[in-house]
Amino acid sequence: MDGFHRLLTSEADTLEEVKVSDARLSPRERAVLLLMGHGLSNKTIARQLSIAPETVKSHAKNIFWKLTARSRAEAVYRAVALGLI
């Protein structure tokens, strides 16, 4: 199996693990994640949602943990794939 197929298989396994763990995002986490998906910075997201930038950072950490993601793009991808947003 080549590297690309291994990567796809690994991603599918990870998504299955997330499904099994029944990851749930709060409404606020979903809002933060949607805005991240639009490429907005923490500061801009904070302004949009009328919360502190540190609160956005906290939500982002929770999102990454729940979705076992290491980046904003990966978190958005996984949330969409899982039908969470």
Q: Is 54 exposed, middle or buried (0-12, 13-18, 19+ CB in 10 A)?
A: exposed
Q: Which two tokens stand for residue 11?
A: 């991603």
Query: What's the mean pLDDT in 40-60?
Result: 97
Taking 60 as the threshold, does the pLDDT of residue 14 lie above it? no
| DSSP type of residue 25 | -
The Cβ-side half-sphere exposure at 47, using a 13 Å CA radius, reads: 4
State the fold for domain 3-81. Arc Repressor Mutant, subunit A (1.10.10)
Supply the pLDDT for residue 10: 60
Rounded Cα distance between 47 and 65, Å, is 24
Whole-number CA gyration radius for the chain: 14
Give the pLDDT score at 71. 95
